[in-house]
Amino acid sequence: MTTPHDALIAALQAAPGDADRLMRAACAELRERPAAVSAPDVAALRAGLARIADTGLDVVLQRLMDDAPDGQVTQGIATLLRPPELAWDEAQEIDWAARHWEACRAAGQLDETLAADFGDYWRRLEWSALRQHLALLGQGHAEERRLLAYIVKTASRYVALAPLKRAMEARFPEFFELGFSLR
């Protein structure tokens, strides 16, 4: 069965020049009909973290779970912006996220904290994407390299995720070499 997400990915792959229009439409639909929020799959997260390191990442798992209540406002957009099948330049991701954030603010769909600070919204969005990527990695998703690249990107940005970054550097040093790209 094809899901709306699968149809969007297929459309984006078929017409990459139409990505801006397609993503804006997908974001508008997400605001009109927010996706149901699912609780993070702790077993899949553990399995994903275990693919990176045998031990030492429990603190990362706990931090990811502590940030999970914001799922409704960040989970859907994270799925759109960072699917395992595609990658965009970060400037484009931020543009789409900022437009979505502004529209959600105008519609009153954000709590006071997230409405006040795009930086906090972006962090929570990235952590939502990280949870999704780790869970997919734990489930053996076919796009392992891109998932790992997304994990490196996020883990490298936040001090709270330093244990994950160190584990990634030890296990997958090629992701830290100059010139690596998500594409």
Confidence bin at 180 (pLDDT 50/70/90): low
Place of tokens 């992701």: 175
The pLDDT of 161-181, averaged and rounded, is 87
Q: Is residue 81 part of a domain?
A: yes
Q: Is residue 20 part of a domain?
A: yes
Q: Whole domain around residue 37: which residue ranges?
A: 4-176
Mean pLDDT value across the chain: 90
CA nearest to 83, candidates 167, 3, 180: 3
Task: Please check the confidence at residue 69 and state whether its pLDDT lies above 70.
Answer: no
The pLDDT of 161-180, averaged and rounded, is 89
Q: Is pLDDT larger for residue 145 or for residue 180? A: 145
pLDDT digits (tens, 9 = 90+) for 103-142: 999 999 998 988 999 999 999 999 999 999 999 999 999 9
Give pLDDT, residue 126.
Answer: 95
Q: Cβ distance 163 to 146 under 8 Å?
A: no
For the chain, how many structural domains are there in total? 1
- CA atoms of 2 and 17, how far apart (whole Å): 23
Q: Is residue 69 part of a domain?
A: yes
CA nearest to 64, candidates 2, 116, 132: 132
Element (H, E) at 64: helix 58-66
Q: Is residue 98 part of a domain?
A: yes
pTM, to two decimals: 0.92
Q: Is residue 181 part of a domain?
A: no
Task: Please check the confidence at residue 172 and state whether its pLDDT lies above 70.
Answer: yes
